Structure 1
C-alpha cells in the first residue's frame, strides 16, 4: 500500500512544483511580452494564411506567444498574452488551465483567441473569461491550411512550438484581462 501511495503522490508533487515554478520569477517584462507577441503575429502572417486573414477581419484577438503545458494525469498550462483591437494593443491577459485525464508529457505552443464581434471582445475584457471544456482549437502546422470557425463568438488557434504530449484531457481555460 505504501508503494501505491508514493507512486501516486510523487508525480502530483512534481507537477505542482513545476506549476509554481513557472508562475514565479521568470515572468516576462511588458517589452518582452510585446516582442514575443509581435514575433508570433509575424509567424502567423508568414506561415498561416487563414489565421492571418482573421488577424485583419476579427473584432480583436489575444496572442499568447509562450504557453507551457505539462501533465501527468493532472495537468496545467499557463501563459501571458497581448490583447489587440484592430492592430492596437489594448491590454494584457493571463491564461491558466488545470485539467485531469489520461495524459502525460509537456509542450509549448502559441495560442490565439479571435473574437468575432466587438461584444465578444467586450465579454473577454470584463476580466474573468472562461473557455468551456468542450471548446475546440484548430491546431496549425506549417504549410497546412485549416478552416477556422467561430464557436460562441471565439475561434481558438494553437501553433506547436515544441515538446511532446500524449493523452486525452478534460478541462477549460480561464483568462484574466488587464487594460493597458
Structure 2
C-alpha cells in the first residue's frame, strides 16, 4: 500500500509538471497568490531577518506548495507567483526531475530572490534553471543572516510535511507567464 501511495505522488507530480500554466483559471491564480502571501508571512515568521530580504530584492518568486515524490526516479512540481516592487507581475511553474536513491514524498515551499533585472529577465524568458549543484537554505531562525546572492539569486526552502530519503541528482526548470 505504501508503494502505491508513492507511485500515486509520482504520477501526480508528473501530471502537474506538464499541465500548462496558461490554462489556469482566474480563481486558481487568485488561490496561488493568496497561498504565496501566506507562505511569505511564514518565511518571515520563521526567520524575521527575511523581511529585509523581501524588501530589498529586485524581485522574487514564491512557490507556496511544491509536491515531490520519488522511488528511484523522482519528480516535483509547483505553481507560484512572481513579484517585483511588492506587486505580482506574473505566474510561474516549477518542475523538477531527479534520479538516484530516493524514496518517499514531501511538500515544501520555495522562494527565489533575484538580485537584479538581469536574473529576473532570464527567469521571465524561461531560460532559468538550477543544476544539481545548486543549493537552497532551509529556513530556520537566523538562517538568512549570512546568506549571500550566488550568481544573482538566493534560494530558501521550508519543509511543510512528508518524509523523503534522498541521495540523488537532478535539476529544477521554471516557466514564466506574464499576467
Question: What TM-score comes out, normalization by structure 1 length?
Answer: 0.84
Q: CA deviation at 1:19?
A: 2.8
Distance 1:15 1:30 in 2: 23
**Contact 1:128–1:177 at 8 Å: present in 2 too?**
no
| Matched length | 168
Q: CA deviation at 1:51?
A: 2.3
Give the aligned partner of residue 157 of structure 1. Answer: 156
Give the aligned partner of residue 6 of structure 1. Answer: none
Structure 1 window deviating more from structure 2 (132-141 vs 64-73): it is 132-141
**Contact 1:15–1:75 at 8 Å: present in 2 too?**
no
**Contact 2:14–2:77 at 8 Å: present in 1 too?**
no
Give the aligned partner of residue 3 of structure 1. Answer: none
Q: CA deviation at 1:144?
A: 4.7
| C-alpha distance 145-11 of structure 1, shift in aligned 2 (>3 A) | closer
Give the aligned partner of residue 69 of structure 1. Answer: 68
CA deviation digits over 1:53-72, x for unaligned, max 9? 21011100000000000011
Q: CA deviation at 1:178?
A: 0.2
Distance 1:106 1:133 in 2: 19
Q: CA RMSD in A?
A: 2.2
**Structure 2 stretches of 5 or more lacking a match?**
none
**Contact 1:49–1:145 at 8 Å: present in 2 too?**
no
Give the aligned partner of residue 145 of structure 1. Answer: 143
**Which structure would you say has the larger Rg?**
1
Counterpart secondary structure, 2:106: strand
Give the aligned partner of residue 17 of structure 1. Answer: 11
**Structure 1 stretches of 5 or more lacking a match?**
1-9
Question: Are residue 132 (structure 1) and residue 131 (structure 2) matched?
Answer: yes
Q: CA deviation at 1:100?
A: 0.2
Q: CA deviation at 1:45?
A: 2.3
**Contact 1:80–1:95 at 8 Å: present in 2 too?**
yes
